Amino acid sequence: MSQNLNKNQLDKNLKLMILSATVLIVLFFYTIYKSSSHIQSSTYYFGIVFLIILFLCAIFARVYRDKLKAFIDKTRKNNGFETELAKEQEKPVSENEYMKKESTIDMVSSNVTFKDVAGISSVKEELEEVVDFLNSPKKYQKFDVKLPKGVLLVGPPGVGKTLIARAVAGEAQVPFFYQSGASFVQIYVGMGAKKVRELFEKAKATAPAIVFIDEIDAIGKQRTGTSNDERESTLNELLTQMDGFEGDSGIMVIAATNKLEVLDDALLRAGRFDRRVHLNLPNIEDRRKILDLYLQNVNFSFDIDKLAISLAGFSSAAIATLVNEAKLNMIKRDDATISEEDIEIAKIKLEFGKKENKILNDKQRDILAIYQASKAYITQQKTTLFQEGIKKDDTIYPSKTELLNQIKAYLAGFIGVEVVVHELYAVNSADLKEANALAKLLVEEYEMASNIKEVLENVKNELRKELSNNKEKIIELKNIMLDNEVIKEDDI
């Protein structure tokens, strides 16, 4: 299309040249004819010769216009300017304006270390190994050990996933590139993928480095295969980039999400996010350490152990906000010591008791402890007070017994509460949904039973019998849970 436009433009220019030369020659002769005096100067004759030459050149150009055009195009290709100009002109104006914007991907140096993050003792060891990989790669390379390409931090909002990623960068003393998943979602097709490429190019140029993608579920949701939208093209580019560097390149990709179940399988496979670090809400010991951290430079007149117990269900971010609000109230009182009254006022400001924060009174905490103690007893696994779900069996070809045991684990908490307090409580609807989904799978897909309701009732009756015979053990585990907010395998 652009070639036709160029040809038409050349033809138009040649026609104008011929027309202009013809008009000038006519005017020149007309002036000589009308002049009252004889023209003695050779200038006029030089002018007429020049116009005739111009006229002949125009005719020559008109006859050989195709060869001239080919020569001009070849010259333009050699300097590349016209090619780039044509490409820019073909882009929409709005996109050109967007491309002119400066990059928002900047390298930062993190001054946060593990000392600045409290309540991560359960995952610190695994993260320290990642730091050692970045600090001393040769120690592992001589044994042909590859650096994990990606670490996925999984946990509810506010548990400190971003802070932990910054701490890893600070401990390793490497450049830190931060981007949220939502920042890759662009209005123009291809812009998200371009930003992913730019992010990894900058990281490779400064390796060793850490790339942190917060809220990766914004671009990493499972692909449906029914569309090819901007989000899916961005995800495809991310997968390609993670495949494009080796484990010894010095680039570590850390991502955070609180919706692991929605992520695409290709993103979770080995060779991309090789490790998953699960972060839970802090227990009593963790909350005490977090309070110590945020209160280390201020005076207070309340019992810190009692406060740690009362903050069951608070995330580390919520505790930090609570202490900050208490300090603000202390300043308003023109005092230098945080009092218990300041803490209570801060709790009210944080809407203490709000459902989504899972702030529990004594009765609710007791019910949840029975629920989790029953699950711990049946599964024989470590369980925390605010743990959701259970460890799934990764058997490729599960037997009927394994599927029934999985259903049993999901229903153990409900039946345990029923056995101990003689009342049904709605504690965790997600466990019920998982149990029903497994029963449906067992009946409809694997045809190992004939009725879903019958499968669930048989499992419940079996649980009632087992938990009733071991009621004292369940109560013992409940008390351990109330004291420590965790039941270890040694306690069962």
Q: What's the CA gap between 156 and 258, in Å, rounded?
A: 5
Q: What's the CA gap between 444 and 451, in Å, rounded?
A: 9
3-state secondary structure at position 283: coil
Q: What's the CA gap between 319 and 308, in Å, rounded?
A: 10
Query: Scanning the structure block, which residue is given the tokens 């580019």?
Result: 237
Closest CA to 256 of 202, 290, 210: 210
Residue 420: phi and psi, rounded to 5, are -80, -45
- Structure-block tokens of residue 123: 């995952």
pLDDT for the residue 348:
76
Q: What's the CA gap between 230 and 148, in Å, rounded?
A: 28
3-state secondary structure at position 338: strand
pLDDT for the residue 354:
43
**Ramachandran area for residue 390 (φ above 0: left; ψ -120 to 50: alpha; else beta):** beta
CA distances from 173 to 108, 119, 200, 203, 371 (A): 11, 22, 19, 14, 44
pLDDT for the residue 35:
56
Contact 322, 344 (CB under 8 A): no
Contact 114, 167 (CB under 8 A): yes
- Structure-block tokens of residue 232: 């899916």
- Structure-block tokens of residue 345: 């006022």
Q: What's the CA gap between 487 and 123, in Å, rounded?
A: 17
pLDDT for the residue 452:
92
Contacts with 4 (C-beta within 8 Å, 6 or more apart), sequence order? none
Contact 135, 172 (CB under 8 A): yes
Query: Scanning the structure block, which residue is given the tokens 């039941």?
Result: 487
Q: What's the CA gap between 411 and 432, in Å, rounded?
A: 7
Please write down the HEC assignment for all residues of 235-278. HHHHHHHHHCCCCCCCEEEEEEECCHHHECHHHHCCCCCCEEEE
Tens digit of pLDDT per residue, the chain (492 long)? 444 445 555 566 666 666 666 766 666 666 666 554 545 555 556 666 766 776 677 677 666 666 666 666 666 555 554 455 455 445 554 444 444 444 566 777 778 888 888 777 767 777 888 888 888 877 877 887 777 778 888 888 888 888 888 888 888 888 888 888 777 766 555 677 888 888 888 888 887 888 888 888 888 888 766 555 667 788 888 888 887 666 556 788 888 888 888 888 888 887 788 788 888 888 888 889 899 988 988 899 999 988 988 888 788 888 988 999 999 989 988 999 999 888 888 887 775 444 444 567 788 889 999 999 999 999 998 888 888 777 666 667 888 999 999 999 999 999 999 999 999 998 888 899 999 999 999 998 888 988 999 999 999 999 999 999 999 999 999 999 988 888 888 888
Q: What's the CA gap between 79 and 379, in Å, rounded?
A: 72
Closest CA to 490 of 416, 415, 386, 383: 383
- Structure-block tokens of residue 51: 């116009």
Contact 313, 347 (CB under 8 A): no
pTM: 0.58
Query: Scanning the structure block, which residue is given the tokens 């045809």?
Result: 447
Q: 3-state DSSP helix/strand/coil percent for the chain, to nearest 5?
A: 60, 10, 30
pLDDT for the residue 247:
55
Q: What's the CA gap between 38 and 198, in Å, rounded?
A: 76
Contact 169, 210 (CB under 8 A): yes
3-state secondary structure at position 389: coil
Contact 13, 61 (CB under 8 A): no
- For residue 174, how far is the Cα from the chain centroid? 20
* Exposure b/e, 99-127, CB count within 10 A at least 16 = b: eeeeeebeeeebebbbeebbbbebbeeeb
**Ramachandran area for residue 225 (φ above 0: left; ψ -120 to 50: alpha; else beta):** left
Find the Cα–Cα–Cα–Cα dihedral 464, 466, 468, 471, rounded to 10°.
Answer: -130
